[in-house]
Amino acid sequence: MDIKQILSEATNGALNEEVLSEIENVFEQKVNDKVEIHVEQALNDQDELYTEKLNELVEKIDADHSNKLKRVVEAIDSDRAEKLKVVVEKYESALNEEAENFQSQLIESVSDYLDVYLEEKIPVESVQEAVKNTKAKKILEGLRNHLAVDSALEKESIKEAVIDGHNQINEASKKLESVAEENAVLKEELDTVKTGLMLEQKTAGLDKKTKQYINKALKGKDAEFIAENFDYTLKLFKKKESDRLETLKEEALSTRENVDRVVYESKQEIVEEKVSSPYLSELSKY
Amino acid sequence: MKEIKKDIKKFISNVMDREYKKASNDLSSVINKKIEQKILNNNINIF
């Protein structure tokens, strides 16, 4: 049932068709406006709802995708890193080997080049010639040294002066040698005289036997030795002498009663042979 | 021979390091040794 019919029945036909049409138009207009507002409201609500849901969905998808992407990136990173390591190691080893090979090749090449260059610039003949030259130079040096000839001495004017000087030096050397010999002889004689004089002075107050012993012990020694050892020698002689006399005295006393003439004489002879001191000559009387 | 190669190696490394004075000394040493070798190989009497 439309609005025209309702209004016609309600008003019992009081409204004509034109008014009814007008009312219907206005009514429809109003209804359309209301519907439009409601539809818009509903659409807005739906939009907001869908937007929220979409946002949640997008966030969840983002998070999920992020995690997945992270995993993928990590996996790819580790995989690529391993592969890169392998590649780097391989290239490093290859590079080192190649570098070593290149270095050894370069060394060989430089060595060969130097060989060829030396062969070209300094052939064996040149080396032999150089060796001969050096040898000759050395021999000449030796000859010059041996003959005492120098380049400066090759001139005639200098040569005579040098020879004269050489002769004078030789004469002077000979003179010096003879004077040195004379000096040595004189020194030796002086030493001997000094020694004799010193011995004479030191043994001046001693008896003949002591003097003989001292002269015998210190004969041929220098003055310094005599000065150092004179007292010691004298003491030694005195000690020896006293020991010897003591021994002789004891022997004489122990054999005095049992001695017969013959034995006494032989004893006396022995004593005489041993010593000729005054004390022993006195002892021999008993 | 090994000595010579060692000297050449030193010479190359000194050239690479731009130590030209040291490189020059190394090269002199190498040439000296080469000539010594040459003298020995050719039985040249130096005495």
- Nearest beta carbon to residue B44 from set A111, A114, A128: A128
Residue A273 banded pLDDT, cuts 50, 70, 90? very low
pLDDT band for position A195 (50/70/90)?
confident
Of B8, B35, B46, the CB nearest to A110: B8
Secondary structure of residue B45 in the 3-state scheme:
coil
* b/e code B13-31 from CB counts within 10 Å (16+ = b): ebeeeeeeeebeebbebbb
Q: Is residue B37 part of a domain?
A: yes
Which residue type occupies A104?
A: S
B27: domain range? 2-41
Is B47 contained in some domain? no
pLDDT tops 60 at residue A265 = no
**Tokens 């001495």, located at residue:** A153
Domain coordinates in residue numbering, chain A: 3-116, 124-153, 156-245, 255-286
pTM given for the model: 0.37
User: Stretch A261-273: mean pLDDT, rounded?
Assistant: 48
Distances (CA, A) of B31 to A134, B5, B11, B20: 19, 12, 12, 16
Residue range A56-114, pLDDT digits in tens = 999 999 999 999 999 999 999 999 999 999 999 999 999 999 888 998 999 999 999 99
Smallest CA–CA distance from B46 into chain A, residue: A131
pLDDT of residue A269: 47
- Is B46 part of any domain? no
User: How high does pLDDT run on average in chain A?
Assistant: 84
pLDDT tens-digit series, residues A77-86: 999 999 999 9
The C-alpha atoms of residue A29 and residue A60 are separated, in whole angstroms, by 45
In a domain, B24, yes or no: yes
From A116's Cα to the closest Cα of chain B, the distance in A is 11
Q: What is the ipTM of this complex?
A: 0.90
Q: Tell the residue number behind the tokens 């946002």, with chain if given.
A: A55
Residue B23 lies in a domain: yes
Q: How many domains does chain B have?
A: 1
CA distance A131 to chain B (A): 6
Which residues of B make CB contacts under 8 Å with A?
Answer: 4-5, 8-9, 11-12, 30-31, 34-35, 38-39, 42, 44-46
Task: Assess contact for B5 and A107: CB atoms under 8 A.
Answer: yes
For the ranges A232-236, A244-248, A252-256, the lowest mean pLDDT is seen at: A252-256
CB contact under 8 A, B38 and A118: yes
In a domain, B7, yes or no: yes
